[in-house]
Amino acid sequence: MAIDEVLLQTATSPILRFYRWQRPSLSFGYFGRLAEVAAESSKRDLVRRWTGGGIVPHGADLTYSFILPRAAGRAIPTPQQIYRQIHGAIQQALSENLPVALANADAPKVSDVCFANAVASDVLVQGRKIAGAAQRRTRAGLLHQGSIQYEGLPDGFREAFTRALGLEFSQLTLDSGVLRSAEKLAEQKYGNPKWLEMR
């Protein structure tokens, strides 16, 4: 979470970042309440995201973030446009292997658990939501954080997803400055009980 925030503040070109979780964890949106997830703390690490959205269990999923800085010199699409574009790229990357579709509209909300509620442009396999995301827009640009909850993603999925986004990417190694800033931010914010308990 801290690395994503630092990258949004410092990036000069679009970044697509994939990551996994060391332990079973649960993230919940900026506007969520700790009381809604506190019972999970004995089984999972808890973290409040900087982005919005619902409750997301992590562990077996593939998590990614897409950072689109204003410094990239291009207009930033609306949240709905970028959501559909990124999820359309996931759909395209999976279409050869899975019966995948995008949700046409928001389904009725039945839970604060993100994957219980499909919203427009979420990725579905046989009607089940397998990819959802949340966003944060600032003066620096846009941060889109997503989770793909499908075991057995095909080999080459990350590369196919990257190609489907239609952007030129090169391998990025996080430099020591970004990592130091992220460690400091993690200590001050994401690892701070006040951030976790703010609502």
Distance CA 116, CA 189 (A): 28
Q: Mark whether 144 is an active-site residue.
A: no
C-beta separation of 51 from 137 below 8 A: no
Letter for the amino acid at 105? A
Q: 152: which residues sit within 8 A by CB, 6+ positions away?
A: none
Read off φ and ψ for residue 110, nearest 5 degrees. Answer: -115, -10
Can you say how many angstroms the Cα of residue 199 is from the centroid of all Cα atoms in its chain? 21
Span between the terminal Cα atoms of the chain, in Å: 18
Picking from 187, 183, 198, 136, the residue whose alpha carbon sits closest to that of residue 6 is: 183
Of the residues 2, 16, 114, 140, only one is catalytic, namely 114
Closest CA relative to residue 157, chosen from 143, 165, 8 = 165
Taking the C-alpha atoms of residue 199 and residue 188, their distance in angstroms, rounded to an integer, is 17
Q: How far apart are CA 65 and CA 2, in angstroms?
A: 12
- Contact between residue 59 and residue 24 where contact means Cβ atoms under 8 Å apart: yes
Q: Catalytic amino acids?
A: 114
